[in-house]
Copies of this chain bind each other. A is one copy, B any other.
Amino acid sequence: MVEFKVLEQNHPRVDGLDKVTGRATYAADVYLPGMAWCKLATSTRSHARIVSIDTTRARDLPGVYAVLSGSDFPDIHFGSGGLKDRYVMARDEVYYVGEPVAAVAAVDEMTAQEAVDLIEVQYEDLPVVVDVLDALREGSSAVHPDLPDFEGFGFALGGENVCTLLDADRGDVDAAFQQADLVIEDTFRSQGINQGFLEPMACVASVEANGRLTVWASTQGPYQVRAQLASVLDMALSNIRVIPMELGGGFGAKLRLAFEAFPALLSMKTGRPVKLVNTREEVFTLNGPRLPVANYIRSGVMNDGTIIAREAFSVFDVGAYLGAGPNSGVGHGLGAYNVPNFRLRSYGVYTNKVYVGSYRASGVADMTFAVESHTDNIAHKLGMDPVEFRRINCLREGDTAVNGSAMPRNGLQECLDALKDRLDLPKKLGQRRGVGVALCEWRSGSGPSTASISVNEDGTVSLLTGSVDISGSDTSLAAIAAETLGLPMERVIVAKRDTDLAPFTGPSGGSRIVYSQGTAVQRAAEDTRDKLLAIAADRFGVPADALSCEDGAVFVQDNPPQKLTISQLASMSLSSRGGPIIGTASLSTMPFTPVYSAHGAEVLVDEDTGQVRVTRYVQAQDVGTAINPMAVEGQLDGGAVQGIGRALTEDMLFDSETGAVRNPSFATYLMPLAVDLPDIENVLVRVPAEDGPFGARAVAEPPGFGAPAAIANAVYDAVGVRINEMPLSAERVLAALQGQPAPEIPMDVNALKEAEGLTA
């Protein structure tokens, strides 16, 4: 193994002290002179035409500076995934309960709220559809009857509410199913999930005299917010500056424009800075959560355990607007397995609910629950050990991945081995105890990444990136720069950023920061190092490749005492021909580098109540190289906890008549507490990536995928019942234990196939 000086060692977060002492500045901490507060009036109807909005009384309330409604915004549609299906604020119709219809700016928060309560909206109700499988059905009422006219709408399959379809096909699927010794099909359903970040979204917008807009935002994607704001406000991109503040959790929920346009337009109308901070209720009802998903999976298997065919039809509820949509869902219908013939479909379907957002690899946790529960079902049908069945079908180096790439070297088998070792599998626990496993797969995230490093005159360096810190990513980037430059961590300053200052960078999400942004940092540090070496080479009269850069100094390899410290070189640079040193790097895409992990859960099922308790949780993940092991383990712990919450208790409840969120608070939306959780045991597997910085792979997403299936498989192992619907609540498990049939998941796959002209 390579000898690292900085990497593979634990470093506290560079922003840690500030955060634990409450000194870090979040968007809600921004106070500007003359600042107004914004509050939102929201729809009380699920689907309705807006007959009128009377803001007279609100405007007349003393202390109110301005009131705006949808028609105050430019008549511009926007949307995600290329489909422009929404206005930034409801204009003629509302499509879900909680949709913003008006915004107030007032002298303080209470006055703003009082004004909101004085706004009178007249609605004319329209047909409502809440359940995604209802909405998929032919003849369902259409959420957006004008869908075919939306810019970016690109196909005409399925029912009135299907707004997007992702597909992937390979081989002759129907023939393979004919050939299979055994065909197994399952249908699964997973629930709506709130991302549960600690910091409600917040934003302050302030317009300058010259019309330029500054937005202090709680966002993972400042450049994305800038671009979308420019679009919906019909402004030049260069007239908007987004300053991303400290992020109190995002998990994908803060990747896109949320409500920043409301305070922005209010600031333009009033000439004042305007602040908007979500209540926790708004976090649940305004900012796209994940919505229910239905998954049909069918596999054709040979008696030797080889999977030869796979069909997966996934129906993603996207709520009122496409939002984050199925996103990365379709390819994951194969899981971590090498399947030669497949037909994969992911449908995005409108309903009258809050629009869907992103959450730690949108959709993949739902797919993993389905695929890995199904995988256990096949193993059991074949009478094979679930771990050995997985091993047989695992993707191996050189196999063709679902995206068509050749599989590079990876640590999937090593993860499976590590999990098996740690849990001492196979084993039978008995006494209502069981063990279950699940494999998780993701790819190291890519996308535009830039970094710039400047050398201060004392030999410390300032690192400027456009990426927002997420889960300690700044610390990891600092470690990569420090390792490359042969400097200790404390000599790397990670600068706070804003869109005016840092070059365009993709958002902090999708496990792209360390792998892709980290590569940009490594290359910028190499560029910086080359410039330091050039000064030393000039001074020593030797070629640059005769020099090494280590331990804060550059020295002649053949004569190490001949050296200059980086401080000396930095100071020399100020009067050198090349001037003060800046190193930069920029890239757009990185090679396909998969990430695998194996999760294992042990559970104890209370047969009287149905309550499932996770007594042990192990995950082995191939991280390539652990840039900062402490941060890697933090990601693994956090993901497992989120997965356990998703498996057992978290459940957004939607009113079946109105689609309104029925439990928009942490008192009723049950995230796991420390007392509900086992210690999370992490095993870091290290099969270096060919392309990541120092061999590092992405880490962040997979830890959240495995728990639902691992726990469901463990429950089956413990008490012999198969739960196909998340969460595995006590009620649901108890009903199954009592022999009650599980509620039907009315997904008509044949209708979907027929619409596509496939053999039913």
Contacts and interface: CB of A to CB of B under 8 A. Distances in A.
B575 A586 contact: no
A209 B25 CA distance: 12
B452 A237 contact: no
Contact of A210 (B17, B502, B573): B17
Nearest to A493: B238
11 contacts: A17-B210, A23-B208, A236-B458, A236-B490, A237-B458, A238-B456, A238-B460, A454-B502, A462-B503, A496-B501, A579-B587
B503 A495 contact: no
A579 B586 contact: yes
This chain's copy number in the assembly: 2
Interface string A362-377: 0000000000000000
A66 to B, nearest CB: 18
A33 interface: yes
B23 A504 contact: no
A210 B588 contact: no
A576 B574 CA distance: 33
A500 interface: yes
Interface string A207-251: 011100000000000010001001000001110010000000000
A21 B20 CA distance: 40
Given A238-B462, A450-B454, A584-B584, 6 more contacts: A29-B33, A449-B579, A456-B499, A462-B501, A501-B501, A576-B588
Contacts of A449: 579
A482 to B, nearest CB: 12
A464 interface: yes
Interface in A477-512: 490-491, 493, 495-505
A614 to B, nearest CB: 36
A457 interface: yes
A450 B582 contact: yes
A672 interface: no
A617 to B, nearest CB: 33
B579 A520 contact: yes
Nearest to A14: B210
A267 to B, nearest CB: 12
A31 interface: yes
Contacts of A574: 448, 504, 588
Contacts of A490: 236, 238
Given A209-B21, A575-B589, A582 B452 contact: yes
Contacts of A18: 208-210
A554 interface: no
Interface in A423-479: 448-450, 452, 454-458, 460, 462, 464
A74 interface: no
A268 to B, nearest CB: 14
A504 B31 contact: no
